[in-house]
């Protein structure tokens, strides 16, 4: 019952029931990226993405980002992207995670500059 409730009303976990219906009836699968996100387009030209995991717009690779925003590039024709060996794979926004960038070698140096309101308890 809770899962059905989540599907009906909670949009930030996964696609909602309405999005699922829209995808089934009006969506044409255009392609899938390396993260497993699926990209759809309607006959009227509306485009949307169904995320494979947690919803986060920074998980859309650059080639699909340009497609989502109607920026012309070769995705319109090809849908296959061969990357060069010097290109790094796309990474989502890592701010606030253990993999985030710290300008100092010692990660504890940043923690000394401020106190979080959560630590004051």
Q: Is 71 left (phi over 0), alpha (psi -120 to 50) or beta?
A: beta
* Predicted local confidence at residue 38, as pLDDT: 92
> What is the per-residue pLDDT for 93?
84
| Strands 47-50 and 38-41, bridge-based pairing | antiparallel
Query: Helical H runs in 11-95?
Result: 17-26, 62-68
- What pLDDT does 10 receive? 63
> Which regions of the chain are under pLDDT 50?
none
What tokens does 29 get? 């699968």
- Between CA 68 and CA 33 the distance in angstroms is 13
Q: Using DSSP, state whether 110 is helix, strand or coil.
A: helix
Q: What is the pTM of this model?
A: 0.61
């Amino acid at each position: 019952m809770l899962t059905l409730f989540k599907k009906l009303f909670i949009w930030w976990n996964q696609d909602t029931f309405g999005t699922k219906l829209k995808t089934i009836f009006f969506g044409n699968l255009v392609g899938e990226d390396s993260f497993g996100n699926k990209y759809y387009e309607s006959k009227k030209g509306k485009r949307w993405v169904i995320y494979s995991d947690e919803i986060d717009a920074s998980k859309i690779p650059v080639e699909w980002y340009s497609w989502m925003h109607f920026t012309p590039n070769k995705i319109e024709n090809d849908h296959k992207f061969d990357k060069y060996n010097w290109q790094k794979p796309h990474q989502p926004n890592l701010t606030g995670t253990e993999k985030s960038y710290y300008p100092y070698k010692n990660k504890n140096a940043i923690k000394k500059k401020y106190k979080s309101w959560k630590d004051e308890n």
